């Protein structure tokens, strides 16, 4: 959860090299994780009685990003975007997060969403064990 960028799904990869086939596969994997995150957010916000006004709209922006580390990170061009997934040199991650633009997420709202997600994770973990 970020202050101005909503929820960011980071897929961190260590690569010495990246082939042409790797990029679409990494983008697809990251998009899939972002879709799961959106679904979980919709689910937990729908269950929260005080969030009824938020359930009909997209509750929080979810952005997908692949963060590359290792030798391959130097080959990531600035503003690299594949099918809506941002590709980043790992050393630029903090700068990119600071530059995210979107609606301000108040600290209390962010804390509430994180708490809902943690409760959801605990509930899912309990039902699986």
User: Cα(54)–Cα(22) distance, rounded to whole angstroms?
Assistant: 37
- What is the β-pairing status of strands 62-69 and 7-14? parallel
- The SS3 assignment for 20 reads coil
- Stated pTM of the model: 0.79
Q: What is the pLDDT of residues 1-25, one digit of tens each?
A: 787 778 899 999 999 999 889 999 9
Count of all residues that appear for the chain in the document? 129
User: Cα(41)–Cα(29) distance, rounded to whole angstroms?
Assistant: 18
The pLDDT of residue 110 is: 81
The pLDDT of residue 85 is: 96
Domain boundaries along the sequence of the chain: 7-128
pLDDT at residue 31 tops 70: yes
Looking from the CA of 68 toward its CB, the CA atoms found within 13 Å total 23
Which pLDDT band, with edges at 50, 70 and 90, does 66 fall under?
very high
């Amino acid at each position: 959860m970020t202050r101005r960028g909503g929820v960011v799904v980071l897929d961190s990869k260590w690569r010495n090299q990246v082939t042409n086939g790797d990029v679409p596969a990494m983008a697809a994997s990251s998009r899939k994780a972002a879709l799961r995150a959106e679904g979980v957010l919709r689910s937990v916000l729908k269950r929260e009685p005080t969030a009824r006004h938020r359930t009909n709209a997209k509750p929080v922006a979810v952005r997908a990003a692949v963060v590359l580390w290792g030798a391959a990170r130097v080959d990531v061009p600035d503003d690299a975007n594949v099918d809506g997934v941002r590709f980043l040199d790992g050393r630029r991650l903090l700068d990119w997060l600071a530059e995210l633009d979107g609606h301000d997420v108040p600290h209390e709202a962010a804390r509430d969403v994180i708490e809902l997600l943690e409760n959801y994770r605990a509930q899912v973990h309990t039902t699986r064990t």
